Amino acid sequence: MLFFNEIPVRVRYAETDQMGVVHHANYPLYLEMGRTEWLREMGLSYKELELSGIMLPVISMALQYKNSAYYDEVLTVKTSLKKMPTVKLEFDYKISNSDGLVLVEANTILAFVNAATKRPIRCPEYIEEKIAAFSSKL
- Cβ contacts of 125-130, under 8 Å, gap ≥ 24: 127/42, 127/44, 127/85, 128/84, 128/85, 130/42, 130/43, 130/44
17 has catalytic annotation: yes
**What are the residue numbers of the active site?**
17
